Chains A and B, each alone.
Chain A
């Protein structure tokens, strides 16, 4: 299992499992985008609690989902970022998008 999604109070939460790299990002992206288009949530929450590793492909994944949900009039939040991913998150500057 790569991504587990749940919908509650118009919030779509996508819990991502395992590693995010250039190889795995497309299947994660596809699953989240499919659910987002079908369910049209007000908010999309990307839950990183079960992500054990990510490189800048994870940043690309966040930026792409931010763009998609914004185009649908929704908001993105990135939640439960493990300590070992904080460094790349902070280097990327995505906190300026107001998603953290």
Chain B
């Protein structure tokens, strides 16, 4: 069942905007330590907002790439465990161009959610 608007990203944005623009300045005046914590919270809400928009599609792409790369199916977690195991044992390494392209794409999708300004 579809929820009424606001959507999850819209609601998260509204909360983050309120905390940043109204709550944080008030805290900075009275409790600077909490002001810092509030910035951490606002930043985390921004991560959740991006995750709610971009996460499902990013997971789907990662899953599809992993299935192709490993030539089998399974949950996203299973497939990542298998890839991690192969990398630790040396069955695969950085010479595997298809795998490196997969890791680049997965990492690009993750950082676009966690911290798009990182470079």
Bound pair (A, B): no
- Residues of chain A having any CB pair with chain B under 8 Å: none
- Spell out B's residues near A (CB within 8 Å): none
